[in-house]
Amino acid sequence: MTRVIADISISLDGYVTGPAPGPDAGLGRGGEALHTWALRPDPVDADVLDEAVAATGVVIMGRRLFDVVDGPHGWNEERGYGAGRNAEPPVLVVTRTPPEHVRLADRFTFVIDGLAGAVAKGAAMAGDRDVVIMGGGETVRRAIEEGLVHELRLHVSPVLLGGGTPLFTGLSARSMRQIHVRGSGQATHVTYRFD
């Protein structure tokens, strides 16, 4: 059975970007520190990243994250999903209006029938591999709220951003079970399963 996994890096104070993120500002002020574990991995981080990338069949992201990824400081020929591993699973972008121009057009498919439609399409494409909802924060939050996610994988970075895009604001109460935790010098990688 295909698992749907929300996978996102988060600060100790609960933000998935720093203040003022966007296409020209990336993850906002201080936000790049969230991904130190992936961009300059130690051996533990490298194992976590390798395992996740190998299990990923399809990636889903929201339009705001796409605009950052496709922006001037986003993905390129050397860096894509999986950081320097440059894995190229199909990427589904949830949007109401596909952009007219896409810098890396061969990597993206735009889904206009909502997040549940993107998850269904991703599950059909992924086979026995995972569908990974990588962000942004609002997309992950909506997927959790809509009950579309089997597991939540957090990469908790040892940074306090003091503002930015919060992950958990506005979610309904629910319980989870911690099923895996692994620490490195740059992040604590925790996986929760929804009951």
Q: What is the pLDDT along the chain (195 residues), one digit of tens a residue?
A: 789 999 999 999 999 999 998 788 888 999 999 999 999 999 999 999 999 999 999 999 999 999 888 887 788 777 778 776 766 889 999 999 999 888 877 789 999 999 999 999 999 999 999 999 998 999 999 999 999 999 999 999 999 999 999 999 999 999 999 999 999 999 999 999 998
Please choose, from the candidates 8, 19, 10, the residue with its C-alpha nearest in 3D space to the C-alpha of residue 151: 8
Task: Give the predicted TM-score (pTM) of the model.
Answer: 0.93
Separation of alpha carbons 113 and 31, rounded Å? 30
Number of compact structural domains in the chain: 1
CATH number for the domain harbouring residue 75: 3.40.430.10
Which structural domain range is residue 122 located in?
4-194
Work out the number of other CB atoms within 10 angstroms of the CB of residue 48: 21
Residues in the chain, total: 195
Residue 144, Ramachandran bin (φ over 0: left; ψ between -120 and 50: alpha; else beta): alpha
Query: Which SS3 state, helix, strand or coil, does residue 38 take?
Result: helix
